[in-house]
A and B are shown apart, each in its own frame.
Chain A
Amino acid sequence: MIGEIDPFIINLTIFVLAIFVGYHVVWNVTPALHTPLMSVTNAISSIIIVGAMLAAGPAETDWGVWLGAAAVTLAAVNVFGGFLVSQRMLEMFKKKDKKGNT
């Protein structure tokens, strides 16, 4: 039966289920961390780097490959920038009880 289903339908199934997962997970995020949430999701959305790498992949380099390479660079800025700035912010949310003001 699986063989008869259009891949689009399978992808659509994944899409709808993923939205539900996203919905439930995100409502559980504490409001204090909404800014880090944005920077983390931003880094995650740069998963399109996968598409960019495929575009830059073929050994025969035509202009499409260079466009892909440009997209890899843009997405890489986002991957590193997004995760590192999130890390920097989240470090600030550490407990500070070592300073002895409790």
Chain B
Amino acid sequence: MSANMVALAYLVASVFFILALKGLSSPESARRGNLFGMVGMAIAVATTLTLTENWVLILGCIAVGGVIGAIVAKRVQMTAMPELVAFMHSLVGLAAVFIAVSAVNNPVSFGLPEILPMGSKLELFLGTFIGAMTWSGSVIAFLKLSGRMSGTPVVFSGQHMLNLLLAIIMIGLGLWFFFSETTNWTAFIAMTAIAFLLGFLIIIPIGGADMPVVISMLNSYSGWAAAGIGFSIGNPMLIIAGSLVGSSGAILSYIMCKAMNRPFLSVILGGFGSDGGAASSDDGTQKTYRSGSADDAAFMLGNSDSVIIVPGYGLAVARAQHAIKELAEMLHEKGVNVRFAIHPVAGRMPGHMNVLLAEAEIPYEQVLEMDEINSDFSDTDVVLVLGANDVVNPAAYVKGSPIYGMPILDAQKARTVMVVKRSMAVGYAGLDNELFYMDKTMMIFGDAKKVVENMLKAL
């Protein structure tokens, strides 16, 4: 194929990738969008194949990787999606490093001059460094999310200084690499090693609850790594696809930070949640709360006109999604208007709770985002809070509270609030929740799944 034909085919593939993301604007068009993505990728791979000579080797590798990928995609639990995504980011990062090393070794196979010009060296430096950080950062994120490594932040004194020092050394090595007349492998390898190390060091101080931000950020990195490789080998399609992914991840990080009311920089610098005994706003008096049984709750739910269910990650931990779906269906049959309200950080990654509810076959029309449903709480008879805490804490409206300004679901505005919880323990932010002590609130203690099953029996 002529170079122009190849470039045109890559352009077509790039348009398909844009259409893939565009399709995700609504659940109806999303499957078609995903299909567009696959078509784009198929075009890109088929076109590239014509430029290579080792067809057997390449197709063999694609087959092996493809089978592994297909098996993983089929078997993974929906609750484990964050780990899977982190794992896949790590693969992109590592592949980017391999490609960059290979390009330094044999620039001619990428259509680059035998002796790399300075510009190409800079681009390869960027691609390698972002790729290496993506790999090691994602490995840590994967270990933390899958529980193989504790989610508590790892902090030590001088951490930021160390990172800064390493970054400076890395840039120094990069400069050495640029200004060497022949290929300076020592500088290149040392620089890559430091980038790997930096990836580890940057992610270890970030706590478990900030993982939605981290995973979005790594999503963004993996895109920039692809774009960096695109610059190195002068391939506009890689630049376009990489930028799409990079900006997508950046936007998701922004949305997550905003939903937690945490500045991006403070998430990245890490250490949140490591200070144990903070935020004790006790005024000395023992506050009283009202507790009830699942039967009482079921009676009230059955007699209400409108119910909003606020699910949190606790719901998924208790594997209560299917039970809650049956409860919603049963109430629906009794003529109750049942809806679900999702806070942006309700799961372990952006949109995670929506997927978990969709898996339980809860129609997505009943599942509403915070902005869509918040004004309806005041007209609602019963709000059922399941495994959520900080996202319904009215302290977010109190000046001086640590979570002041965080957008919350206005559960406190409903006529009756029911909270299913294991105990009165505080949530992740370490704050007491005023909502639990309101006169209209009924606490139902126990495992979310058992409580919901008992409600089902009582109905």
- Contacts of A80 on B, CB cut-off 8 Å? 65-70, 73
B143 interfacial by beta-carbon distance below 8 Å: no
Cross-chain contact B37 with A44 (CB below 8 angstroms): yes
Within 8 A of B (CB), among A5-48: 6-8, 10-11, 14-15, 18-19, 21-23, 25-48
Interface string of B52-82 (1 = CB under 8 A from A): 1110011001111111111011101010010
- Contacts of A57 on B, CB cut-off 8 Å? 51-54, 58, 109
Cross-chain contact B244 with A85 (CB below 8 angstroms): no
Cross-chain contact A37 with B252 (CB below 8 angstroms): yes
Q: How far is the CA of A52 from the CA of B48 in the complex (A)?
A: 10
B187 interfacial by beta-carbon distance below 8 Å: no
Q: How far apart are B250's CB and chain A's nearest CB, in angstroms?
A: 8
- Contacts of B68 on A, CB cut-off 8 Å? 77, 80-81
Q: How far apart are B112's CB and chain A's nearest CB, in angstroms?
A: 10
The number of inter-chain residue pairs (CB within 8 angstroms) is 380
B268 interfacial by beta-carbon distance below 8 Å: no
Given A84-B70, A85-B76: A36 touches B351 (CB 8 Å cut-off): yes
Cross-chain contact B354 with A55 (CB below 8 angstroms): no
Q: Which of B37, B106, B225, B240 interacts with A83 by CB under 8 Å?
A: B37
Cross-chain contact A76 with B62 (CB below 8 angstroms): yes
Cross-chain contact B223 with A45 (CB below 8 angstroms): yes
B446 interfacial by beta-carbon distance below 8 Å: no
Q: Which of A7, A35, A42 interacts with B355 by CB under 8 Å?
A: A35
Task: Give the residue name and chain of the B residue nearest to A88 (CB).
Answer: B73
Residue of B25, B58, B219, B367 with most chain A CB atoms under a 10 A cut-off: B58
Cross-chain contact A72 with B65 (CB below 8 angstroms): yes
Q: How far apart are B128's CB and chain A's nearest CB, in angstroms?
A: 12
Q: How far is the CA of A3 from the CA of B31 in the complex (A)?
A: 42
Q: Is the interface of B mostly helix, strand, loop or mixed?
A: helix
Cross-chain contact A75 with B65 (CB below 8 angstroms): yes
B459 interfacial by beta-carbon distance below 8 Å: no
Cross-chain contact B62 with A55 (CB below 8 angstroms): no
- Contacts of B231 on A, CB cut-off 8 Å? 8, 11, 15
Cross-chain contact B44 with A50 (CB below 8 angstroms): yes
Cross-chain contact A74 with B65 (CB below 8 angstroms): yes
A2 interfacial by beta-carbon distance below 8 Å: no
Cross-chain contact A55 with B98 (CB below 8 angstroms): yes
Cross-chain contact B247 with A64 (CB below 8 angstroms): no
- Contacts of A54 on B, CB cut-off 8 Å? 48, 51-52, 109-110, 233
Q: How far is the CA of A38 from the CA of B347 in the complex (A)?
A: 14
Q: Which of A22, A33, A58, A76 interacts with B244 by CB under 8 Å?
A: A22
Interface string of B342-358 (1 = CB under 8 A from A): 10100101111011001
Cross-chain contact A38 with B24 (CB below 8 angstroms): no
Cross-chain contact B58 with A56 (CB below 8 angstroms): yes
Q: How far is the CA of A64 from the CA of B367 in the complex (A)?
A: 50
Interface string of B281-300 (1 = CB under 8 A from A): 00000000000000000000
Q: How far is the CA of A82 from the CA of B153 in the complex (A)?
A: 29
Q: Which of A79, A81, A95 interacts with B41 by CB under 8 Å?
A: A79
B89-97, B191-199, B309-317, B397-405 - interface stretch: B89-97
Q: Which of A8, A75, A86, A93 interacts with B92 by CB under 8 Å?
A: A75
29 contacts between A and B (CB under 8 A): A14-B240, A15-B231, A18-B240, A29-B25, A31-B354, A32-B367, A38-B85, A40-B33, A42-B222, A43-B37, A45-B225, A53-B49, A53-B52, A55-B98, A55-B106, A55-B109, A59-B54, A64-B106, A64-B109, A67-B102, A68-B99, A69-B57, A74-B92, A74-B94, A75-B65, A75-B95, A83-B38, A92-B361, A93-B358
